[in-house]
A and B are shown apart, each in its own frame.
Chain A
Amino acid sequence: MMGWIGRGELGRWERRLLLFSAALVLLSFAFPLWQVRLIAPQYPEGLTLAVYAWGLRGKLDIINTLNHYVGMREIRPEDFPELRLIPVAFLGVALLATVAAWTGRRWIPFLLIVLAPVALLGILDLWYRLYLYGHTLDPDAPIRVPPFTPPILGSQRLANFITSATFHVGTLLHVIAFVLVVLAFWRSSPWRGRSRS
């Protein structure tokens, strides 16, 4: 089936699109993929924690200190082995897109499109992590709160804190890169070419 769908060559424009999407994927390392921000009356500037392709950044120590009052486990970067996979996966995608642009092989964008739903697994993993943090609270904590799942997208209020989570520029770059790959794949479709001629 792949032989059939991936048949054909990529045109000059499609190759450019793929090269561009590879660049976007590389650029995404400079921006957070996802970010959570805690705002309280005494933290008007907000406590930000950002997930980058290469790790966590932000006021993790302070957030952990505050979380201990409700008995939440300490968030430690070393507890996320999957985070180590992300840069490898992203570099792989960028490499594949570049190879496709170089060789013009149409099955490569097809492969990328097929693999894209794996990203959803990453989001699911994040949600599960958040669920675990909010549901394995120390029963002896000074402040007892009902188990909760911190938001993956949107806002939630807990005591004096409003937690707002959002996907960030890094993720947006990936979405654009994906759209470009789909576009390249679609434009180069031999079937599309036949119908036009």
Chain B
Amino acid sequence: MRRRVKSAGILGAVTLVVIALAIVLPQLGGRESGAQEPGKAFVPPGKLDEYYMFASGGHSGQVYVFGIPSMRRIRTIPVFTPDPATGWGYDEHSKRMLGGYTWGDVHHPALSETRGEYDGRWLFVNDNANNRVARIDLKTFTVGQILGPVPNIMGPHCAAFVTPNTEYFMMPSRFSAPIPTGTYAPLSEYGKKYFGVLAAIAVDPKTGEMSVGWELLLPPWQYDLSDAGKKVSEGWAFLTTYNTEEATTVLEKNASKNDRDYIIVLNWREVEKAVKAGKFTAIAGVKVVDPTKVPGLVYLIPVAKSPHGVDVSPDGRFIVASGKLQPTVTVYEFAKIQEAIQKKDFAGTVRGLPVLNYESVRVAEVPVGLGPLHTQFDDKGFAYTSLFLDSAIAKWQLGTWKVVDKVQINYNVGHLAAAEGDSASPDGKYLVSLNKMAKDRFLSVGPSHPESLQLIDIAGGKMRVIADAPVDPEPHYAQIVKADKIKAIEIHPKETKRPNSVWSPKDARIERKGNEVHVYMYAIRSRYVPDNVEVNQGDRVFFHITNNDLDEDLTHGFGISLYNVNMEIQPGETKTISIVAEKPGVYPFYCTNFCSALHQEMQGYLLVKPKK
């Protein structure tokens, strides 16, 4: 009896311990999946990161700059969306660049390349919403040019993946539409009057100036992602396309009917020649080439239905397409593609474009897992494919086509970015998983959570998640570049000939030209010269302000109460902001960017005399 009581007691105690462990253990280790290995991502205070990561800000219209491996967010670069803190979209220059648009949808940042390597000069980002593209100058981390809306294209999701010497990047339509842009045609005429158009944006190798090089008329399908050929495949570009069903309603069902869609194989050097030979039609002022009339420019390769990413291996030999709705990535070999083209090994044509024989060009179907989207590469011959549905990343080997490792991520990975991953020589080391859901990974902030970035150590044989970082919506893609390639300047050079600049308080002045008042203002910690400005109601007032503090990080601000304007002026910079003095009265302007011990004194009055 006593023994029975005793054993019941032990049993009870064991049960309690098990329950307690069941409650405590998961809290100790987090979820077993994605448990972090501490230390490796730690960068001590005062120490700098090894890499920059440029992540697209999605529909925020901005670009986020991170340090890797610390995952510290260093800066937000305003691109397509006004930003009062910097004055982006408020000062005259940036207002003109934004052209009245107040948002953009940034998807794929691309660093400029020289001989297939990131050269640290520029970053190009597309606006999927308004058919634009911006160039960020990495000396100042500010936008130097916005091109567009580019004529004839609609929703350039694909961009911007640059060619190995930044000759071009391709901006094809995600949404086929009648052309030129602004043309009406009913959906019943989708197959005839709608076109997918690819714009090749040419980049000036010296200045980075972007212009529309030429355009290509493509079938009314949807163009999703692209990559430029490199090394052996240099001179070619590859795009994925879906909705070859040409559906115009309930696409989630109707655009998923065909078992196969296509990879577009594009010989852009041949297109250049065709343009030079005059084989184009001008549409909306752009030279548009029809590849059904000029053979040798475009070929189609069948691919598992509704593909998403297409990625070229660092040596340019392999083209990897992710199936999205099929648990495999399909690998094609460039040499086989060339052979098939030469031998005219075609399986017919679709919409006038030759289709290469799938069996002839495909070298492997790698069973990576569910929902493969994108692939990146390391320095040791391995590929890493994101699996949206499995919430995992699969590591597999080029050549053997074997999956060698998988790591769980949290949750729903879209793109992934490897260190120097799109260059001809990736670094390995780090991989960042750009996740669409954060769910329980951070303190809750209500029903909508931040997106989540996870840093994965890929230096060893096994992948390990070593850091989590929340981020605002929504990085689609990122590129990671060695920090020493970026040569940012600390102050804007003192250009005494710069228009509207003032470099001495003696030259500060107010000039009236009819109804226009120009204030040439000198700013230095902690004052404006002049600091009181009197105008008449109805005047258009321009403030041209030069920050004379040629000192690292000594940025001034300029905001006017009740006049709805604000901007920063960086060290050595001259900026112009204007208002129409419609409201009579007295309105203070002041330095909004904390600059100095007497920052609070850095102010003045705008006195608006009422009309009589």
Contacts and interface: CB of A to CB of B under 8 A. Distances in A.
A59 B597 CA distance: 20
A65 B598 contact: no
Interface residues on A, range: under 10
B550 A62 contact: yes
A69 B598 contact: yes
B301 to A, nearest CB: 56
Interface in B195-248: none
B598 A61 contact: no
Interface in A55-114: 59, 61-62, 65, 69
Nearest to A160: B597
A69 B597 contact: yes
A69 B527 CA distance: 11
Contacts of A142: 598, 601
Interface residues of B, number: 9
A142 B524 CA distance: 15
A25 B527 CA distance: 45
Contacts of B597: 69
Interface in B550-593: 550-551
Nearest to B525: A65
Interface of B, secondary structure class, is: loop
Contacts of B601: 142
A65 B598 CA distance: 12
A142 B602 CA distance: 12
Contacts of A65: 524-525, 548-549, 551
Contacts of A69: 597-598
Interface of A, secondary structure class, is: helix
Contacts of B524: 65
Interface string B500-541: 000000000000000000000000110000000000000000
Nearest to A61: B550
B598 A62 contact: no
A118 to B, nearest CB: 37
A99 B550 CA distance: 46
A181 B156 CA distance: 78
Contacts of A61: 548, 550-551
Nearest to B598: A142
A49 to B, nearest CB: 14
Nearest to B597: A69
A41 to B, nearest CB: 13
B132 to A, nearest CB: 39
A57 to B, nearest CB: 15
B524 to A, nearest CB: 6
A197 to B, nearest CB: 66
A46 to B, nearest CB: 12
A69 B551 CA distance: 16
Nearest to B494: A61
Nearest to A142: B598
A142 B596 CA distance: 12
Nearest to B596: A69
Interface string A34-64: 0000000000000000000000000101100
A34 B524 CA distance: 28
Contacts of B598: 69, 142
Contacts of B525: 65
A138 to B, nearest CB: 14
A61 B525 CA distance: 12
Interface in B25-81: none
A61 B491 CA distance: 13
Interface string B596-609: 01100100000000
Contacts of A62: 549-551
A101 B164 CA distance: 63
Most chain B CB within a 10 A radius of its CB, from A62, A65, A142: A65
A47 B524 CA distance: 18
A72 B570 CA distance: 26
A65 B551 CA distance: 10
A62 B598 CA distance: 16
A91 B598 CA distance: 47
Nearest to B524: A65
Nearest to A45: B552
Most chain A CB within a 10 A radius of its CB, from B548, B551, B598: B551
Contacts of B551: 59, 61-62, 65
A62 B551 CA distance: 7
Contacts of B548: 61, 65
A69 B524 CA distance: 12
A157 B548 CA distance: 27
6 contacts: A61-B548, A61-B550, A61-B551, A65-B549, A69-B598, A142-B601
Interface of A: 59, 61-62, 65, 69, 142
Given A65-B524, A65-B525, A65-B549, 13 more contacts: A59-B551, A61-B548, A61-B550, A61-B551, A62-B549, A62-B550, A62-B551, A65-B548, A65-B551, A69-B597, A69-B598, A142-B598, A142-B601
Give the 3 A-B residue pairs with the shortest CB-CB distance, closest first.
A62-B551, A61-B550, A142-B598
